[in-house]
Structure 1
Amino acid sequence: MVESADQKQRRAWWRSTLISSILASLTQLALFTVVLVCPDSSMPSLLPLSAVALLVVIASGRCCKRRLRVRASAPAFVFFSIIFIWGVYIGVVRQVISLLMDIAVNSELLMLFIGLCCIMSVDPGHIKNDSSHLNELLESQALASEGPSEESVPSSWDMPYELAAQEISVPLQRIRYCRQCKAYVKGFDHHCPAFGNCIGQKNHVLFITLLFGFVVTEASYIACSSQFTTKTQTLDKTGEQASLSRNLAVSTMLFSLLQMLWQVVFLAWHIYCICFNIRTDEWIHWNRYPEFHLNVQPEPGQTSSATETRFINPYDKGIFLNVKEFLTAKG
């Protein structure tokens, strides 16, 4: 019996979800082992060891996936990690937490689930194939490809590029091509593997809000688990079950701390990009987009006669207007 395309897709989805659950379990097991092997170590000494353990698990997982020719789902990994942290909180940590803090942490975790479901399903700003904007953009690119020299035209492996800001109409500005989705996205920032979707003009605010929510939730969990470990260490030093619960709280606290440190850096980067009205893809691949090119002619007397190309941001209107434009942008 021949499988249909939908059956193959569902089968691949279940396989990738299963692999993600295994990887999430191995990640937590690796951190728990670090705490178990070094029970008397301080948090500053456990943190680098946990980071190394995570890197080993990630590298081993990628190697195994290549050899077995299977794929994992990054969004499923995020979901399983949240479920695990939530389970440890409900089963272990919340015993010593006040009612008000308990309500706050559970509300934050619930909002993360809702936010993840929303950002995975919401349209980031895809330009439909029958859109007049896309037709106009493709026609403009076809005309432009005849004019520039071979040096200014991207190589064959590069995805389609945009025209200079002054050469295209406002609705066509900042329409970029996503390699993963194989689609044009308005206001494209980057493709987020963790959320399984592009980050574009329609969901950029949601992405920043969700990223901030992750940082706040992880900080709350770290505070709660730290309170739990302190109280259990003071009150009960003999019980084996109490020791196991404490190690579990410490290992999940280390996982949350490592995630929070990475996400704080990522959030700071995106805030910087918002303030100066630049997208991540534009910053990394600015040489693909002519509107960011500033050709500087050599000064008289210089030995080199080649024209130097520098970066310039034509979309930067000042921090206040940039932030206002970001918050009020519509798809």
Structure 2
Amino acid sequence: MQSLITSCLASLISVLFIQFTLFMLPLFLPTSSFITLLPLAALLIVIVVGLGRCCKRLVGAKASAPAFVFFSIFFIWVVHISLIRRVTSSVMDIVFTIEIVMLILGLYRIMSSDPGFVRHDSSHHETAIKNPLSEVETHTEELEPSTYPTLQESHAEEGLIVRSGRYCRYCDAYVKGFDHHCPAFGNCIGQKNHFLFVLLLIGFVISEASYVACASQFAARFKTLDEVKTETAVSSSLAISTMLFSLFQVIWQVVFLMWHVYCACFNIKTDEWINWKKYPEFHVKILSDAGQPQTGLQFKNPYDKGILRNLKEFLTAKG
């Protein structure tokens, strides 16, 4: 319990430090345009996150990535309630509140969900779900291929092979339909929760885009007021800094979302795309002109059944 509290506290400090750093940006560069501030904000976020990780390693503290996500959402919500809602309509205020509540519920749901753990009789790699809040934000996406022989399944209908369980070294378990281990959500993304993961990504994009729209209204309105007043300058800087943070989030989340839509359309997982050379079913030997096999390998996706069938399988997957 103490380590959990410590990791959550480290995540809270990280969120506050990042937001404070971004807050100082428009305060010291009041005449800079939003387009100019955006790349500076992205650079600051990268620097601050890097420095934060170094500091946490020095003091031996471990932050929780899911807690970082939660506190970031909560911080944006608090700013909206205390500041931004002054210039937004009551309808938009209610809609944004519903979006935030749904995000928090979705975050809890995916953290506690079973991604499709494969249970078997082996004494190796017993299936166990760790506490999501114990996931460290420094996880890398170094995905390890499955090598456990008893998990390989036979050919399915129409000559197509069925995916075996892939091993996740973070959860120490095999996951059916394993896509990747998501440190931000503290859980594996597999066959049972991949669709929920995509829905949650869409929810993040919509809610943060909504906040950007509301905050831009606030910043535009207060820009016409007396800029000498401290309250006006602080409020405007806070609105702009949180808007920069949210827009930065939206940009990379849209790219990530597009990738997962692509994977769903062609029925391939992130782990398989990265490590396809380690999975024999993706191998096609390159033949020479004389008809003799060469040492090189060519990629071929044996799970691709056409976009419509792939999407139907993705939407109806239950593990």
Common fold by TM > 0.5: yes
2:315 aligns with 327
Deviations for 1:129-169, whole angstroms, at most 9, x for unmatched residues? 449xx99xxxxxxxxxxxxxxxxxxxxx9653377x99725
1:288-307 counterparts in 2 under 5 A?
288-300=278-290, 306-307=294-295
TM-aligned CA deviation for residue 306 of structure 1:
3.5
Distance (whole Å) between structure 2 residues aligned to residue 246 and residue 208 of structure 1: 33
Q: What is the rounded CA distance, in whole Å, between the counterparts of 2:267 and 2:232 in structure 1?
A: 51
Residue 313 of structure 1 is matched in structure 2 by: 301
Amino acid corresponding to residue 104 of structure 2 in structure 1: F
Q: Which residue of 2 aligns with 1:275?
A: 265
What corresponds to 1:168 in structure 2? 154
Q: CA deviation at 1:172?
A: 6.0
For 1:59, the equivalent position in structure 2 comes to 50
Alignment-derived partner of residue 246 in structure 2:
256
Runs of 4+ aligned residues of structure 1 deviating over 3 Å after TM superposition are 157-160, 169-172, 235-238
- After superposition, the Cα gap between the structure-2 partners of 1:12 and 1:175, relative to the gap in structure 1 and judged at 3 Å, is same
Larger Rg: 1
CA distance in 1: counterparts of 2:167 and 2:15, whole angstroms: 31
How high is the sequence identity, in percent, across the aligned residues? 55
Unaligned runs of 5+ in 1: 1-9, 136-156
Q: Is the 8 A contact 2:145 2:166 kept in 1?
A: no
Please state if 1:68 is matched with 2:59.
Answer: yes
The reply on whether 1:80 has 2:71 as its aligned counterpart is: yes
Measured against aligned partners, the alpha-carbon deviations of 1:5-57 in whole angstroms (never above 9, x if no partner) come to xxxxx111111111111111111011011111111110110001101110111
The answer to whether the Cα contact below 8 Å between 1:275 and 1:319 also exists between their aligned partners in 2 is yes
* Secondary structure of 1:41's aligned partner: coil
Q: Does the CA-based 8 Å contact 2:27-2:233 persist in structure 1? A: no
Aligned equivalent of 1:187:
177
Question: How far apart in 1 are the matches of 2:145 and 2:265?
Answer: 27
Q: 1:224 — aligned with what?
A: 214
Q: Structure 1: how far apart are the matches of 2:234 and 2:200?
A: 32
Secondary structure of 2:95's counterpart equals helix
Shift of 1:319: 0.7
**Preserved contact between residue 176 and residue 190 of structure 2 (Cα < 8 Å):** yes
Structure 2 gaps of 5+ residues are 127-142
Paired with 2:115 and 2:202, the residues of 1 have a C-alpha distance of 19
Question: Match of 2:92?
Answer: 101
Provide TM-score, normalisation by structure 2: 0.87
Matched position secondary structure for 2:104: helix
Alignment-derived partner of residue 38 in structure 2 = 47
**What is the root-mean-square deviation in Å for CA atoms of aligned residues?**
2.3
Total equivalences in the alignment? 296
Q: Deviation string for 1:158-211 (max 9, x for gaps)?
A: 653377x99725596231111111100010000001000000011011000000
Give, in whole Å, the separation in 2 of the partners of 1:35 and 1:11.
Answer: 38
How far 1:273 moved relative to its partner? 0.5
Aligned to 1:317, the other structure's residue is in SS state: coil
- TM-score scaled to structure 1, two decimals? 0.84
Q: Match for residue 134 of structure 2?
A: none
